[in-house]
Chains A and B, each alone.
Chain A
Amino acid sequence: MALRELPFRTAAALCKDTRPAVRVAEPLFRRNASSEAAREVESSSSLEVPPPSEELVKGYDPLARSRLRRRGNKELPPSRYQYRSPKYYRGPLHPHQPPPESDPSSRLFQPGPFSLPRLEQTYQSTIAADLLTLTYQHYPPGYRAPKTDQRLRQWTGDSPYYKNRPLRPPRGKGEVLRLLNEPRTFRNIPKITKVTLHSMVPEAQENSAHMHVAGMILQAITNVRAVSHKARHNVVGWGLRQGRYVSVTSTMEREDAQDFLAKLIDVVLPKIKEWKGVPGSSGDGHGNMSFGLTPDQLALFPEIEVNYDAYPPKMIPGCHITIETDATSNKDARLLLQAIGLPFYGKLND
Chain B
Amino acid sequence: MNAGQQTTRRLAVRAGQSICRSCRDTISRTYASAAAAAVQTEDSISQHIPPVTQSSPNTSYGVNAGVVLSRPPQITRDLHPFESAFFLYQRRLNERLALPFTRYFYFKKRTPADLEWKRKMKQRLTPARDIGRYQGYGEEAWNDEVLVGANESKFEWQVEKLLEDAEQSGAEPGAADAPGMKKVERELFDRPKPRVTEADETNDTKSLNRALQRTLYLLVKNKEGRWEFPQDKLREENLHGAAHRIITHTGGENMNTWLVGHVPIGHHQIDYPEPRPTEKLNEHGAKTFFLKARIMAGQVNLKENKLGLQDFKWLAKDELKNEVDGSYWRSIKNMLTER
User: Chain A interface (Cβ within 8 Å of chain B)?
Assistant: 1-3, 5-6, 9-10, 13-14, 33-34, 47, 51-52, 57, 60, 62-63, 66, 104, 109-116, 118, 121-122, 124-126, 129-130, 133-134, 136, 138, 140-144, 146, 306-307, 310
CA distance A126 to B334 in the complex (A): 15
Cβ–Cβ < 8 Å partners of A140 in chain B: 50
CA distance A138 to B265 in the complex (A): 11
B11→A13 contact, CB < 8 A: yes
Cβ–Cβ < 8 Å partners of B330 in chain A: 34
B50→A138 contact, CB < 8 A: no
- Specify which of A51, A125, A142 is in contact with B148 (CB 8 Å cutoff): A51
CA distance A57 to B74 in the complex (A): 39
Cβ–Cβ < 8 Å partners of A66 in chain B: 140, 143
- Specify which of A13, A51, A116, A133 is in contact with B260 (CB 8 Å cutoff): A133
CA distance A3 to B19 in the complex (A): 7
- CB A144 to nearest CB in B, in angstroms, measures 6
A307→B105 contact, CB < 8 A: yes
Q: Which residue of chain B has its CB nearest to the CB of A60? A: B147
A307→B87 contact, CB < 8 A: no
**Can you list, as one digit per residue, whether each of B139-157 has a CB less than 8 Å from chain A (1) or not (0)?**
0100101011100000000
A133→B265 contact, CB < 8 A: yes
Interface size on B, residues (CB 8 A): 49
CA distance A51 to B147 in the complex (A): 11
CA distance A109 to B263 in the complex (A): 46
Q: Which residue of chain B has its CB nearest to the CB of A57? A: B148
Cβ–Cβ < 8 Å partners of B91 in chain A: 111, 114
**Interfacial residues of chain B within 44-90, with CB under 8 A of chain A in the complex:** 44, 47-48, 50-51, 72-73, 76-77, 79, 81-83, 87, 90
Let me know if B339 is at the binding interface, CB within 8 A.
Answer: yes
- CB B243 to nearest CB in A, in angstroms, measures 12
Contacts A57-B148, A138-B263 hold; do A2 and B19 have CB atoms under 8 A apart? yes
The 12 listed contacts between A and B (C-beta, < 8 Å) are A6-B18, A63-B140, A111-B97, A112-B90, A114-B87, A114-B90, A116-B77, A122-B72, A125-B72, A130-B260, A133-B260, A134-B260
- CB B144 to nearest CB in A, in angstroms, measures 10
- CB-based A-B contact count at 8 angstroms: 117
- CB A222 to nearest CB in B, in angstroms, measures 15
B8→A10 contact, CB < 8 A: yes
Let me know if B176 is at the binding interface, CB within 8 A.
Answer: no
Cβ–Cβ < 8 Å partners of A124 in chain B: 339
- Specify which of A57, A121, A142 is in contact with B76 (CB 8 Å cutoff): A121
Let me know if B234 is at the binding interface, CB within 8 A.
Answer: no
Cβ–Cβ < 8 Å partners of B171 in chain A: none
Cβ–Cβ < 8 Å partners of A306 in chain B: 106
Cβ–Cβ < 8 Å partners of B14 in chain A: 13
- CB A186 to nearest CB in B, in angstroms, measures 11
Cβ–Cβ < 8 Å partners of A122 in chain B: 72-73
Cβ–Cβ < 8 Å partners of B12 in chain A: 6, 10
Cβ–Cβ < 8 Å partners of A118 in chain B: 76
User: Chain B interface (Cβ within 8 Å of chain A)?
Assistant: 8, 11-12, 14-15, 18-20, 22-23, 44, 47-48, 50-51, 72-73, 76-77, 79, 81-83, 87, 90-91, 93-94, 97, 105-106, 140, 143, 145, 147-149, 215, 260-261, 263, 265, 292, 294, 330-331, 334, 337, 339
- CB B314 to nearest CB in A, in angstroms, measures 16
- Specify which of A57, A110, A112, A130 is in contact with B147 (CB 8 Å cutoff): A57
Cβ–Cβ < 8 Å partners of B48 in chain A: 143-144, 146
A142→B47 contact, CB < 8 A: yes
A115→B51 contact, CB < 8 A: no
Cβ–Cβ < 8 Å partners of A110 in chain B: 97
Cβ–Cβ < 8 Å partners of A307 in chain B: 105-106
A62→B143 contact, CB < 8 A: yes
- Specify which of B8, B20, B339 is in contact with A2 (CB 8 Å cutoff): B20
- CB A56 to nearest CB in B, in angstroms, measures 9
Q: Which residue of chain A has its CB nearest to the CB of B24? A: A2
Q: Which residue of chain B has its CB nearest to the CB of A310? A: B105
A13→B47 contact, CB < 8 A: no
Cβ–Cβ < 8 Å partners of B105 in chain A: 307, 310
CA distance A138 to B264 in the complex (A): 10
- CB A332 to nearest CB in B, in angstroms, measures 14
CA distance A220 to B87 in the complex (A): 22
Contacts A122-B72, A310-B106 known; list 9 others, CB within 8 Å.
A5-B15, A6-B12, A10-B15, A47-B82, A113-B90, A126-B72, A133-B265, A140-B50, A144-B47
